[in-house]
Amino acid sequence: MRKKTKILSIMLSLILILTSCTANKNKETSQKEASDTKVEEVKDEDIDKAAKEILKEKGLVNEAVEKPVGKAYEVGVTPDDYNMDYDTSRLHALEEKKSKYYPKDGVKGLYFNTYNINKPEVYNKITDLIENSNLNTVVVDIKDDWGNVTMNFDTDDEDIKYSKIDIVDPEAFLEDMHSRGIYVIGRVTTFKDSIITERHPEWGFTLDDGSLWKNASGEAFMNPFLKDVQDYDIKIAKLAAKAGFDEIQFDYVRFAEGFETFGDTLDYSRGEYEDNKDMEEGEKRVAAITGFVQRAREELQSYNIPMSIDVFGYALQVRHADGIGQDFDQMANQTDAISSMIYPSHWGSGSFDIEKPDLEPYNLVCRYLDEEQKVLRDLDHPPVSRPWIQDFTATWIGEGNWMEYDADAVQAQIDAIYDKGQNEYLIWNANSEYTPGVDY
């Protein structure tokens, strides 16, 4: 009889916990605020065990996916979401985060250099091109390639104020773009930053003499291992989200090119991985970059705004580029959209079995997307594929290796995207000078 009474007590306790959204467990007392009924105090593990036995008897248990006992389901969240490895930042899917300006037939956009926005002739040319074609999106710099914060955001953050140059009034710009039905993506150059590293050299990488390391172009990079560094970029992204941008795009989400060849000559912190002796240096870099992408997604979640990232095209081929910290699969699995920079001019001879990739834009894009689609379809959370393609002529890659990128060459890349069953793309020209006559 006592055993039966105990089982009944456990079942009653379980029912109370599962059906109450406000139950407050207190291990110091057997009083339950949700009920006047007194039950025999039991341990949490006893409840878990009893719950599993009851569910098994009814054929309802799934060992791989279980809802933790004692926690009420959240509205709009299915029981399948309650497993130990579930990424809580995924509770809002891309469809739920799209603004009303997200194009129904997919994003088809141009890079709009922020420094041209205040030039009426360029501004009108870009807006006219978009309004009179199948284009529907612009990508503008919130934080440019040097680290300048180009928007006049209202903020008391001293670091952001230090980096601001206030080229654009975001409110007026967004109001005009949206009045034209144009989707606006705010680009954040993430870890390449020569401005804020002047104010915070400790955020960068230093040489033996204490000076800041810079690449051959005189550009400094911030240290992705540091939480302060990550926070800085995320703060800027949040300001853009508050201002009304439709999407945040992070570029340069990586260490400097070739970091694996010179990183050990620099002085810098590995952050939370500093004392981890079980991880190789490359794996630490991958963990830092992937961790940032996940953090950014989770922190932007409350703003209900999609997030995208730019990656090198070769990151797909390598899959695990630990020199710069980019693991294609891991990064893609943490973002809403991924924009691989697949400019034909940026591939070496023989890439995808094409001797001179810049001369074969259609074939290059087709073969790249063949490979990318195989990878993305195997991910738990595949993002939208939205590749960057080129509208510029790469004379610097050597005689015989390049051709003029006219309307046919640009159209060939777009045709390849559609022929592979996709409908989103972004077109890059650093000066926002786009070729006329493209059908888009």
Using CA atoms, how far apart are residues 150 and 187, in angstroms rounded to an integer? 11
Query: Measured at the alpha carbon of residue 384, what is the angle toward residues 241 and 339, in degrees to the nearest 5?
Result: 75
Using CA atoms, how far apart are residues 423 and 433, in angstroms rounded to an integer? 23
This prediction has a pTM of: 0.80
CATH of the domain at 217: 3.20.20.80
**For 332-346, what is the mean pLDDT?**
97
**pLDDT recorded at residue 53:** 54
Classify residue 182: in a domain, yes or no.
yes
Number of structural domains in the chain: 1
**pLDDT recorded at residue 92:** 82
**pLDDT recorded at residue 314:** 87
**pLDDT recorded at residue 183:** 98
Classify residue 215: in a domain, yes or no.
yes
Classify residue 331: in a domain, yes or no.
yes
**pLDDT recorded at residue 131:** 96
Return all residues near 414 (Cβ < 8 A) that are at least 6 apart. Answer: 389, 425, 438, 439, 440
* Higher pLDDT, residue 416 or 52: 416
pLDDT, one tens digit per residue, over 202-247 is: 999 999 999 999 999 999 999 999 999 999 999 999 999 999 999 9
Q: Is there a contact between 288 and 259 (Cβ–Cβ < 8 Å)?
A: no
Phi, psi of 267 (to 5 degrees): -105, 120
Task: Judge whether residue 25 has pLDDT over 70.
Answer: no
Work out the mean pLDDT of the chain and round it to a whole number. Answer: 85
Positive or negative, the CA dihedral 107, 110, 111, 112 is: negative
Query: In 92-136, at which residue ranges do the beta strands (DSSP E only) sit?
Result: 108-111
Is residue 388 helix, strand or coil?
A: strand
pLDDT, one tens digit per residue, over 156-195 is: 999 999 999 989 999 999 999 999 999 999 999 999 999 9
Classify residue 6: in a domain, yes or no.
no
Count other C-beta atoms under 10 Å from residue 305's C-beta: 23
pLDDT band at 93 (very low <50, low <70, confident <90, very high): confident
Task: Judge whether residue 82 has pLDDT over 80.
Answer: no
Using CA atoms, how far apart are residues 160 and 193, in angstroms rounded to an integer? 12
The one-letter amino acid at 116: N
The helix or strand, by DSSP H or E, that contains position 365, with its residue range, turns out to be helix 361-376
Running DSSP on this structure, what letter comes out for residue 101?
Answer: T
Classify residue 110: in a domain, yes or no.
no
**pLDDT recorded at residue 366:** 98
**pLDDT recorded at residue 393:** 97
Q: Which token pair is 73?
A: 């389901």
Domain coverage including residue 374: 115-428
Classify residue 53: in a domain, yes or no.
no
